[in-house]
Each structure stands twice: as structure tokens, then as C-alpha cells.
């Protein structure tokens, strides 16, 4: 969603922020869905393949750093070896291979690259003029047929600004004006001519859904459904019923011999929804209120699909036990609240409470400015948790913007932590990454130095910015 930051007024911190949540009721398991193999076979996914290739890199050893791995305890005076685009070793002492570049990071900190699960870079590009407002196809409550990547403008200056904040990976999503807004795309934050050159290799697609006020405001204002919360729910259910039939028809066709003359007519909308039913496409669900999140869980159970992450989730703290039990991530703001009624009951302890309950807590931006300092957003939530008596460490908090975010996007086996064999997406910080005074100094993506705060040769500018902004004398 696109909203301005607002200075919050007075909020009543509900007693439920510290109360123990009620037990989760048990439900009968959903009927296993039919196979999606026929649907997958019928899609044209290869029509828009990732052409991403890691930039040239050299073997690099970072020494004498404080390392937050997001996979284990902090390593003091540690070393990290990157080779052929991968993390090769991380530990207290690592020998440098012959010919390796050695970076002395004494006094500096190293973390995995920061991952934002909810961004509109490229689809709501800068400058914010009508020609670049391509993030919301608000022509029908269900537009699962649209793909965010077909709106992404790679020359959006916001990509470079996010890179300077340590962002190496982001999920670019459609907006939240529709019940089902379309596919999102996960990208590596590298300068590129095309979105295909940025697409994270083998990352699953996300499907943007939205519950709550936005869809009923957009379509109710036009005198059509949905105009109420019950209209929202009816709209989802009708869409999933159509998708289930499409999936089953395709499966039947394949079982009966796949005669091209008898093949069901291809439907782009139902194709996406059918793949989401089997979690081939991951549900990324914009939802603020606790009661509506639980209703969406019930909806997912009815049709046998899986919600990967609730986004914004301002009231996640009220249902954190549900999130833990269902293994659903919550992608949250540190302190946005109050800009509409469904966002009114937010508390600053939201993220720490979700983490404390054993659920997957994520800090996201949904904002062109917030993405530039996502590390500070995490620090704000950590501070609120400490004040409330929730004992967290940096090793806990770094997960909110790295490995937990990777899990929400289905890419945790490739990135999100500093472990041997994973992509060498690495940030060197000038100091403690959770300090307001700290800046990202160097950003590596697949082992290649993409950004260096002290070297203009590694400070990417989009084609749009070339010749527009004057050179800054440092």
C-alpha cells in the first residue's frame, strides 16, 4: 500500500498487548487438493525467465569484523571468505587463499544483505508522476492475471537509494486496492536494463491479496462489490472456487491423455490462482486486523492453500499464537499506525511480541524512504521490546531483516544468512547496524562489490539520473 508517514496521535495501548493469547481452536484438516502438475505444464512461465547473472567478483576475505550471521551467535573479530559468488567460510580465523583481496574491517560490522519483503520500487517509481504509477490494476476486484514485473521500471532511482541502505533483495508487489492484486516478483538489487536481469533466480512468485478497508473502499465507492467486509470474503471464495475447478479440469484433461483438441481454454487469472492453491505461488496477504487474519487462515484452510506471510499485520500481537501454530510470517512496520481505522490498534511492541511467541517476525518497509534504513526500523522495534521487558539480542533482531524475510519469500535456502554455500550477499557497516549513526559502507551481491560509499565507481546511477543531478563534491 502507498500511504504517507503520519505523525500519530494518542493511542490506547490495549491490555491485550501483554495478555496471554487464548488457545488456538483445532480444525479438521483440509481435503488435499488435486495435483497442479497439469496447470504448471500449461503455463508459459518460461516466457519471462530470469536472465540474472552474478557480476564478476574476486575472492575476498573480510577480517577483524563483528559478524552477525543470522544463523548463530555473533562472531567477534571474525572473518568471512567469499569466493565464486558464495560464502565459503565464516568464523574466528580464516586463512586467505592466494590472490585474495583482504579487507580489514576492524571496528566495523558485517551482516547478510538486507531483504525487504514488501516494496513498490519500480512499480511506483520516482518521480511520483501519473506515468509511473503502475502498481495497482484497479479495474476489477480480482486481477490475479497481472504480474508486477510487467510494470517494473529498472531505472527507478529508488533502487540505488535502497542499495545504499544495504538492501540486496526485495519483493516488488502490486498495490492493495484489489482483493487479489496479482503476482509479485523477487529481485536482486543490481543495476539492470530489464527486470529479467534483476529477477532472483528460481525464487517463487508471490500472490498479493488484500483484506480489510482498501478493496471495499475502492469498489464500494463505485457502487459495486465488494463494499463490505462480507463482500470481501465472498469475493475471495468465489475466485478460489473458480480456480479449483480450473485446476481440476486441467488435471482431468492430462489424465485422459492431454489431447490438444480437448484442452481447456487457458485462463491467465485462474492459472495463477490454481498454482497458488498448491503453494507453487506464495500468498502474500495484506491484512491489518487480528480478527481478519484469523478469517484468512480459515479461508486458506477451506481451500487447502497456505498463507506465507501477512503484511502490515498491525494487530499481529493479538494472534501471535495463531501465526506460530500455522507457521505464517508477519511482515510488519516498526511503528506505523493510526492512519486509518484498521491501523488504529497498533503498538510498538508488535514485532518483539510476535518473535517472543515463536512466530516468524519480519520488518518490512512498504515505503521508499523506510527501505533506505530498514536496519533502523528493526532497531526501533527492538528498543520498544526491551522497554516492555522482552529480552532480545542482536542475533534475534538481525533475523527480522534477513533470514526471516528470506523465509517469507521462499528463498531461505539460497540467501538470508552467512553460511557456507549461500549467496555472498553481504553488507559491511561502519558500526553497529542497529545504531542511527551507522551507514552501509560496502554492499556485495553474489560476492560482487555493487556499492561502496567511499568509491564513486561503485555508486550506481540509473539512466534516468544521468545528466540530471550535478556531481557532488566530497
Q: So what's the pLDDT on residue 24?
A: 37
Has domain 27-51+114-415 been given CATH number 3.10.590.10? no
Q: Is the pLDDT of residue 420 over 70?
A: yes
Q: So what's the pLDDT on residue 38?
A: 57
Q: Is the pLDDT of residue 19 over 70?
A: no
C-alpha to C-alpha distances, 202 to 147, 295, 308, 337, nearest whole angstrom? 16, 31, 17, 35
Residues 6+ apart with CB under 8 A from 120: 2, 135, 172, 173, 175, 366, 368
Structure confidence at residue 47 as a pLDDT band (50, 70, 90): confident
On the CB side of 291, CA atoms within 13 Å amount to 7
Please give the model's pTM, rounded to 2 decimal places: 0.91
Residues 6+ apart with CB under 8 A from 1: 175, 176, 210, 214, 286, 312, 366
The pLDDT tens digits of the residues spanning 448-471 come to 999 999 999 999 988 888 876 666
The domain spans of the chain are 27-51+114-415
Q: So what's the pLDDT on residue 464?
A: 86
Q: Is the pLDDT of residue 227 over 80?
A: yes
Amino acid at each position: 500500500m502507498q500511504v504517507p508517514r503520519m505523525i500519530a496521535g494518542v493511542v490506547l495501548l490495549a491490555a491485550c498487548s501483554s495478555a496471554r493469547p487464548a488457545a488456538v481452536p483445532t480444525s479438521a484438516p483440509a481435503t488435499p487438493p488435486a495435483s497442479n502438475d497439469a496447470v504448471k505444464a500449461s503455463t508459459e512461465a518460461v516466457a519471462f525467465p530470469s536472465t540474472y547473472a552474478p557480476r564478476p567478483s574476486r575472492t575476498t576475505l573480510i577480517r577483524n569484523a563483528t559478524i552477525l550471521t543470522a544463523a548463530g551467535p555473533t562472531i567477534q573479530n571474525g572473518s568471512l571468505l567469499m569466493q565464486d559468488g558464495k560464502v565459503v567460510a565464516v568464523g574466528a580465523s580464516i586463512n586467505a587463499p592466494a590472490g585474495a583481496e583482504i579487507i580489514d574491517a576492524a571496528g566495523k560490522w558485517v551482516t547478510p544483505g538486507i531483504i525487504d519483503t514488501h516494496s513498490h520500487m519500480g512499480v511506483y517509481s520516482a518521480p511520483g508522476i501519473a506515468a509511473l504509477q503502475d502498481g495497482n490494476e484497479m479495474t476489477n476486484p480480482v486481477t490475479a492475471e497481472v504480474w508486477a514485473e510487467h510494470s517494473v521500471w529498472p531505472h527507478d532511482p529508488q533502487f540505488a537509494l535502497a542499495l545504499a541502505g544495504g538492501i540486496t533483495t526485495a519483493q516488488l508487489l502490486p498495490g492493495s486496492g484489489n482483493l487479489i492484486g496479482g503476482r509479485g516478483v523477487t529481485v536482486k538489487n543490481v543495476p539492470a536494463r530489464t527486470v529479467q536481469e534483476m529477477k532472483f533466480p528460481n525464487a517463487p512468485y508471490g500472490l498479493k491479496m488484500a483484506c480489510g478497508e482498501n478493496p471495499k473502499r475502492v469498489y464500494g465507492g463505485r457502487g459495486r462489490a465488494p463494499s463490505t467486509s462480507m463482500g470481501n470474503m465472498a469475493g475471495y471464495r468465489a475466485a478460489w472456487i473458480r480456480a479449483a475447478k480450473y485446476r481440476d479440469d486441467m488435471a482431468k484433461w492430462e489424465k485422459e491423455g492431454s489431447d490438444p483438441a480437448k484442452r481447456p481454454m487457458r485462463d491467465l487469472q485462474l492459472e495463477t490462482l490454481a498454482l497458488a492453491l498448491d503453494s507453487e505461488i506464495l500468498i502474500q496477504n495484506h491484512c491489518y486486523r487480528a480478527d481478519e487474519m484469523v478469517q484468512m487462515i480459515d479461508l486458506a484452510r477451506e481451500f487447502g492453500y497456505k498463507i506465507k506471510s501477512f503484511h502490515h499485520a498491525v494487530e499481529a500481537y493479538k494472534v501471535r499464537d495463531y501465526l506460530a501454530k500455522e507457521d505464517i510470517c508477519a511482515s510488519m512496520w516498526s511503528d506505523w499506525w493510526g492512519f486509518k481505522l484498521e491501523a488504529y490498534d497498533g503498538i510498538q511492541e508488535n514485532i518483539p511480541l510476535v518473535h517472543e511467541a515463536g512466530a516468524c517476525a519480519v520488518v518490512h518497509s512498504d515505503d521508499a524512504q523506510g527501505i533506505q534504513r530498514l536496519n533502523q526500523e528493526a532497531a526501533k522495534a527492538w528498543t520498544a521490546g526491551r522497554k516492555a521487558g522482552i529480552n532480545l539480542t542482536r542475533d534475534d533482531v538481525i533475523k527480522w531483516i534477513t533470514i526471516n524475510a528470506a523465509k517469507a519469500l521462499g528463498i531461505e535456502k539460497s540467501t538470508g544468512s552467512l553460511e557456507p554455500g549461500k549467496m555472498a550477499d553481504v553488507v559491511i557497516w561502519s558500526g553497529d547496524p542497529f545504531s542511527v549513526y551507522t551507514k552501509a559502507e560496502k554492499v556485495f551481491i553474489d560476492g560482487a562489490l555493487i556499492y561502496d560509499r567511499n568509491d564513486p565507481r561503485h555508486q550506481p546511477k540509473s539512466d534516468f539520473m544521468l545528466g540530471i543531478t550535478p556531481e557532488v563534491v566530497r
